[in-house]
Amino acid sequence: MTGIQTAERRRAMKAFEELYQGHYRDVFCFLSRLCGFHADLAEELTQDTFYHAYLSLPHFRGESTVKSWLFAIAKKRFFLWLRKQKNASFPLSDHLTEIIDEQAPDPSDILYQRRLLEDAFAVIFSFREPMKSIFLLRIYCQTPYKELADRFCLTESASKVLFHRGKRLLQTKLKEEYGYDIHLPSDR
| pTM (2 d.p.) | 0.54
- CA-CA distance, 43 to 29, in Å (whole number)? 10
Comparing 50 with 9, the larger pLDDT belongs to 50
How many angstroms from the chain centroid is the CA of residue 62?
A: 20
- CA-CA distance, 1 to 9, in Å (whole number)? 10
What is residue 188's predicted lDDT score, i.e. its pLDDT?
A: 53
- CA-CA distance, 51 to 65, in Å (whole number)? 18
> 23 Cβ partners below 8 Å, 6+ apart?
66, 67, 70
Q: What is the second-level CATH architecture of the domain 1-87?
A: Orthogonal Bundle (1.10)
> 164 Cβ partners below 8 Å, 6+ apart?
187
- CA-CA distance, 63 to 67, in Å (whole number)? 12
What is residue 91's predicted lDDT score, i.e. its pLDDT?
A: 45
Catalogue the long-range contacts made by 154-161 (C-beta closer than 8 Å, 24 or more residues apart).
Answer: 154/130, 159/134
For the chain, the structural domain boundaries read: 1-87, 92-188
- CA-CA distance, 103 to 116, in Å (whole number)? 10
How does residue 110 score in pLDDT terms, banded at 50, 70 and 90?
low
What is residue 87's predicted lDDT score, i.e. its pLDDT?
A: 47
What is residue 127's predicted lDDT score, i.e. its pLDDT?
A: 93
Domain 92-188 has CATH 2.60.40.10: no
What is residue 156's predicted lDDT score, i.e. its pLDDT?
A: 95
Assign 143 to helix, strand or coil: coil
* pLDDT tens profile 121-178: 889 889 998 998 888 888 877 788 998 888 888 999 999 999 999 999 999 999 999 8
* pLDDT tens profile 13-46: 888 888 899 999 999 988 887 776 678 888 999 9
> 20 Cβ partners below 8 Å, 6+ apart?
50
Hey, which of 63-67, 96-100, 141-145, 169-173 has the most confident mean pLDDT? 169-173
